[in-house]
């Protein structure tokens, strides 16, 4: 199953080797050309039957993760984040380290040894350690070394009602939408850009957009959904099950108004539910792509994702399927000369 | 009776759930494991699971009770919020900080449902908020269903456990939830397997006790009912880790611990230690000044008093879902108990009540 294969692959920012190979094998038979650049971006091109306009679809392959930075004499591993993680989600979680997926656990002090007020305070990164069962530093070095990267050991599963959880819907759900889209035929040339290093500051998408030089770009994301207890409805950002989310503005872009209006009308004409991403927080690769060269007409469609940047992220499979549909209809609209051509 | 793979059995027991007061499921799994050693397995009124393994030779034989609690810490549903989010309270000692972002199983009326302890995305969390740890009452569980479905499937009072597949770590270490006290259950099974080889003249009452985590509820009544000559509790103790007190935490792979202090009969402590030395089993002594915090405290004072001791397995990260033990320590504990039991006879039991010198 595609979502399972994509979300369970490893891909810390800068270490996207495993996920890149998984995606390559999924798409190679559908593309006219597949190649990588010096940063590790994976690019697949489909020529179509007309010269243009050329559309870039872009999703990032990397995921939030950690890097081993030091091994204590007792064999426990110190680590730091790659990408934005709230330390409070780390306690008592299993992780997998490196290509060999060495299992480790992030330990936590027994409640019996805690002082009464201790539980009011989060445990900071400097106190957290990964335990792989090593007896000493020397023993640990047989299996891991500083610089190895680790991801959460979460399986993809469909749970509850039409929902799925995994460690990395941000942004493997965007990658999956692109894998489904590359299987379809379009008249216009379409570039499928699978970007590296989004989570540490949108590093891969700029070079990717420069090289592929698109006329139009659509970024596909797994974005935050905070439709949760304790949040005010105007702070939900997005809600699960209400359709793909369209962005007006975020930390990296004020999105093109014409693009937004066009996406809305594509959704409405095809009776695809959608919602407006109701927060300015966060950012994505559109922030780099729309400023590429002399500027690129860009937009974003996102699959709402609860518990983003945490070990178990949750999406609605209806939202996922509607996003695949919306992307297809968007490309059809470009074929038909839409979006101000 | 076929050979039992005890290590795999322990992992199955870890993954299964049995919050204090709700041990029926775990008891039936353990009953199946006990059936490899005896056909005499029953449950008492409180739910304690009792396996009687008869010794060799003519009766009456001395009897030894081995008590390992089968319950685990967990959670209970207190409220279903708008949107279908579930609030919980704790059963036993739970650090709410270790619950955030965990996968859980909600044990509903007609089935189990997978859920996630929710967390706000860091994008929407202020630095001030990140400096605070939420109490359990502020946390919520998402079972990925619309509210009306949640209300149909889940009731206030349903139990919740962390969802965790056990992990094999390096150096024979195993990590997961509920090793407190399924590690000790495995030690009891290892002991029974060793006793089968040793053929001893002692009856062993292997008991999975209930509700230890709520104040050792099950152990007292079961010892009262069985009237053993000797009782030994098997539990976990603190494994060494950064921040753990030096005088009451023990290395993993350093062998089981033997209790020293008023909660242990001094002769049993000495004989367990002597047995370990004889067999070249590494061990540590655990010095406890009053209550050992285990079933042993309840066992010791039943009826006219029962000579009692405690053997423990060092375990890191107690009461979290990544509890970690070294399996060799479990095998060592089982072997130690079996060989100690092999040395028991009527005279030895009588000697345990003799304190005066003539």
DSSP state string for B214-237: GTSTTHHHHHHHH--SEEEEEEEE
CA A250 to chain centre: 16
**Average confidence (pLDDT) over B76-105:** 96
Q: In this structure, what DSSP letter does residue B304 have?
A: T
> At which of A152, A183, A213 does a domain end?
A152
Interfacial A residues in 90-119 facing B (CB < 8 Å): 91-94, 102-114, 119
CATH number (domain holding residue A9): 3.40.630.10
DSSP 8-state assignment for residue B5? -
Phi and psi at B219, nearest 5°, equal -65, -40
Residues 295-334 of A with CB under 8 A from B: 306-312, 314
Which strand (E) or helix (H) includes residue A317? helix A317-335
- Tell whether A246 and A264 lie within a shared domain: yes
Band of pLDDT at residue B1, cut at 50, 70 and 90: low
Regarding whether A182 and A269 lie in a shared domain, the answer is yes
Instruction: Determine whether the interchain pair B100/A88 forms a contact, defined as Cβ–Cβ distance below 8 Å.
Output: yes
B262, burial (CB in 10 Å: exposed 0-12, middle 13-18, buried 19+): middle
Query: Cα distance from B116 to chain A (closest Cα, Å)?
Result: 7
Q: Given CB atoms, is A234 within the 8 Å cutoff of chain B? A: no
Task: Determine the average pLDDT of the residues in B65-86.
Answer: 97
- B323 catalytic? Reply is no
Is B77-162 a domain of CATH 2.40.30.40? yes
CATH of residue A128's domain is: 2.40.30.40
Put simply, the answer to whether A143 touches B170 (Cβ < 8 Å) is yes
Query: Which ipTM score applies to this complex?
Result: 0.91
Q: How far is A301 from chain B (nearest CA, A)?
A: 18
Flag whether A40 is in a domain: yes
Q: Is the pLDDT of residue B334 over 80?
A: yes
Q: B198-208: per-residue pLDDT in tens?
A: 989 999 999 99
| Residue A234 and residue A304 share a domain | yes
- Give the mean pLDDT of chain B: 96
Q: Is residue B89 a contact partner of residue B148, using CB atoms and an 8 Å limit? A: no
Nearest to A227 by CA among A158, A263, A275: A275
CB A216 within 8 A of CB A297: yes
For B303-323, write each residue's pLDDT tens digit. 999 999 999 999 999 999 999
What's residue A341's pLDDT? Answer: 60
- What does the alpha-carbon distance between residue A199 and residue A192 come to, in Å, rounded to a whole number? 19
Give the C-alpha distances (Å, rounded to integers) separating A215 from A109, A194, A260, A341, B305.
Answer: 55, 17, 16, 10, 87
Residue A9 lies in a domain: yes
Tens digits of per-residue pLDDT, A284-307?
999 999 999 999 999 999 999 999
CB contact under 8 A, B121 and A131: no
Measure in Å the smallest separation between the Cα of A265 and chain B Cα atoms: 29
A180 and A266 fall within a common domain: yes
Given A198, A199, A239, A328, which residue is catalytic? A198
> Could you tell me if A123 and A182 lie in one domain?
no
CB contact under 8 A, A165 and B173: no
Based on the fold, state whether residues A212 and A129 are members of the same structural domain.
Answer: no
The candidate with the shortest Cα–Cα distance to A77, out of A136, A122, A11, is: A136
Confidence (pLDDT) at A340: 64
Query: Given a cut of 80, is residue B148 above it in pLDDT?
Result: yes
pLDDT in tens, B263-289: 999 999 999 999 999 999 999 999 999
Number of helices followed by number of strands (H, E) in chain B: 10, 17
For residue B124, the model assigns a pLDDT of 87
A119 with B97: Cβ contact below 8 A: yes
Domain end among A94, A127, A152: A152
CB contacts under 8 A, A 22-61 vs B, are none
Q: Which of A67, A72, A102 is nearest to A85 (CA)?
A: A67
H or E, element range at A163: strand A163-166
Asked whether residue A308 is domain-assigned, the answer is: yes
Residue A340 lies in a domain: no
CB contact under 8 A, A74 and B242: yes
Who contacts B30 (Cβ-Cβ below 8 Å, separation ≥6)?
B13, B49, B70, B185, B208
Both tokens of A306, joined, read 């609860």
Q: Is 80 exceeded by the pLDDT of residue B9?
A: yes
Domain range for A189 is 2-63+167-335
Q: Residue A339: its pLDDT value, please?
A: 84
Domain assignment present for residue A246? The answer is: yes
The pLDDT, as a whole number, for residue B109 is: 84
Tell me the backbone φ, ψ of residue B207, rounded to 5 degrees.
-125, 130
Residues of B in contact with A111 (CB under 8 A): 93-95, 318-319
Residues A32 and A117 in one domain: no
* CATH code assigned to B6-72+177-351: 3.40.630.10
What's residue B254's pLDDT?
98
Q: Is there a single domain that holds both residue A221 and residue A262?
A: yes
Residues A77 and A148 in one domain: yes
Give the pair of three-digit tokens for residue B216: 């050792």
A57 and A71 in a common domain: no
List phi, psi (to 5°) of B273.
-65, -45
CA distance A301 to B325: 47
- Closest Cα partner for B21 from B41, B42, B47? B47
Quick one: average pLDDT of B335-357?
96
Options B23, B190, B212, B331, the catalytic residue: B212
Q: Are A83 and A104 found together in one domain? A: yes
With beta carbons less than 8 A apart as the criterion, state whether B63 and B202 touch: yes
Place of tokens 């199953």: A1
Q: Is residue B353 exposed (0-12), middle (13-18) or buried (19+ Cβ within 10 Å)?
A: exposed
Q: How far apart are CA B313 and CA B333, in angstroms?
A: 7
Q: How many domains does the structure of chain A reveal? A: 2
As a whole number of angstroms, the distance between CA B168 and CA B205 comes to 31
Domain edges within chain B? 6-72+177-351, 77-162
Q: How far apart are CA B189 and CA B178, in angstroms?
A: 17
- For chain A, residues with pLDDT lower than 50 are none
- On whether both A239 and A197 belong to a single domain, the answer is yes
Q: Note whether residue A304 is domain-resident.
A: yes
Maximum C-alpha span of chain B? 78
Residue B249: band (very low, low, confident or very high) from pLDDT cuts 50, 70, 90: very high
The whole-number pLDDT of residue A117 equals 87
Residues 6 or more apart in contact with residue B60 via CB below 8 angstroms? none
Q: Is the pLDDT at B123 greater than 90, yes or no?
A: no
CB atoms within 10 A of CB A234: 8
H or E segment to which residue A287 belongs: helix A286-289
SS3 of A70, please?
Answer: strand
Taking 3-state DSSP, the helix, strand and coil percentages for chain B, each rounded to the nearest 5, stand at 35, 25, 40
Percent of chain B with pLDDT over 90: 92
């Amino acid at each position: 199953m595609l979502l399972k294969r994509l979300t369970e692959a490893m891909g810390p920012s800068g270490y996207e080797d495993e996920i890149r190979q998984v995606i390559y094998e999924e798409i190679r038979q559908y593309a006219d050309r597949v190649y990588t650049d010096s940063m590790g971006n994976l690019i697949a091109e489909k020529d179509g039957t007309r010269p243009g306009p050329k559309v870039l679809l872009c999703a990032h392959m990397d995921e939030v993760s950690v890097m081993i930075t030091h091994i204590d004499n007792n064999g426990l591993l110190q680590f730091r984040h790659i990408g934005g993680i709230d330390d409070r989600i780390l306690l008592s979680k299993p992780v997998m380290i490196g290509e060999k997926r060495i299992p480790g656990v992030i330990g936590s002090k027994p409640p019996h040894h805690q002082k009464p007020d201790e539980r009011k305070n989060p445990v900071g990164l400097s106190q957290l350690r990964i335990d792989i069962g090593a007896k000493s530093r020397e023993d640990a070095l047989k299996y891991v070394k500083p610089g190895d990267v680790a991801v959460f050991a979460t399986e993809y599963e469909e749970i509850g009602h039409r929902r799925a959880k995994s460690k990395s819907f941000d942004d493997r759900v965007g990658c999956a939408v692109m894998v489904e889209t590359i299987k379809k035929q379009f008249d216009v040339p379409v570039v499928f850009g699978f970007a590296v290093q989004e989570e540490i500051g949108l590093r891969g998408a700029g070079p990717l957009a420069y090289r592929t030089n698109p006329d139009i770009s659509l970024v596909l994301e797994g974005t935050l959904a905070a439709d949760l207890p304790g949040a005010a409805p105007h702070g939900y950002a997005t809600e699960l099950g209400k359709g793909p989310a369209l962005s007006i503005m975020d930390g990296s872009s004020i999105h093109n108004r014409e693009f937004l209006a066009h996406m809305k009308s594509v959704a409405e004409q095809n009776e695809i539910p959608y919602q407006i991403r109701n927060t300015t927080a966060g950012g994505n690769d559109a922030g780099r792509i729309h400023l590429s060269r002399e500027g690129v007409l860009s937009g974003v469609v996102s699959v709402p994702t609860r518990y983003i940047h945490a070990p178990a992220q949750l999406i609605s499979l209806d939202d996922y399927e509607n996003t695949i549909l919306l992307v297809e209809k968007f490309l059809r609209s470009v074929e038909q000369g839409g979006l101000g051509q | 009776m076929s050979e039992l793979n005890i290590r795999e059995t322990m992992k199955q027991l870890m993954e299964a759930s049995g919050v204090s007061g709700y041990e029926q499921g775990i008891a039936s799994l353990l009953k199946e494991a006990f059936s490899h050693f005896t056909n005499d397995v029953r449950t008492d009124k409180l739910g304690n699971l009792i396996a009687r393994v008869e010794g060799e030779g003519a009766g009456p034989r001395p009897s030894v009770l081995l008590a390992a609690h089968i319950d685990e810490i967990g959670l209970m549903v207190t409220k279903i919020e708008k949107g279908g989010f579930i609030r919980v309270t704790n059963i036993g000692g739970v650090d709410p900080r270790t619950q955030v972002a965990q996968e859980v199983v909600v044990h509903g009326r007609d089935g189990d449902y997978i859920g996630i302890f929710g967390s706000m995305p860091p994008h929407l969390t202020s630095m001030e908020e990140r400096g605070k740890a939420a109490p359990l009452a502020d946390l919520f569980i998402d079972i990925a269903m619309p509210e009306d479905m949640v209300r149909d499937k889940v009731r206030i009072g349903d139990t919740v456990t962390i969802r965790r597949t056990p992990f094999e770590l390096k150096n024979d270490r195993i990590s997961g939830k509920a090793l407190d006290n399924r590690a000790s259950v495995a030690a009891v099974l290892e002991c029974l397997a060793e006793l089968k080889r040793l053929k001893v003249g002692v009856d062993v009452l292997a008991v999975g006790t209930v509700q230890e985590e709520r104040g050792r509820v099950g152990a007292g009544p079961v010892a009262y009912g069985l009237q053993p000559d000797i009782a030994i509790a098997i539990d976990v103790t603190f494994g060494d880790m950064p921040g753990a007190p030096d005088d009451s935490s023990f290395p993993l792979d350093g062998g089981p611990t033997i209790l020293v202090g008023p909660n242990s009969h001094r002769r049993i402590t000495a004989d367990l230690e002597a047995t370990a030395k004889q067999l070249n089993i590494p061990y540590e002594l655990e010095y406890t000044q009053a209550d050992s915090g285990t079933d042993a405290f309840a066992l010791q004072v039943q009826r006219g008093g029962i000579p009692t001791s405690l053997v423990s397995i060092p375990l890191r990260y107690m009461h979290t879902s990544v509890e970690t033990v070294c399996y060799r320590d479990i095998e060592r504990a089982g072997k130690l108990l079996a060989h100690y039991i092999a040395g028991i006879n009527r005279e030895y039991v009588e000697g345990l009540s003799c304190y005066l010198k003539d």
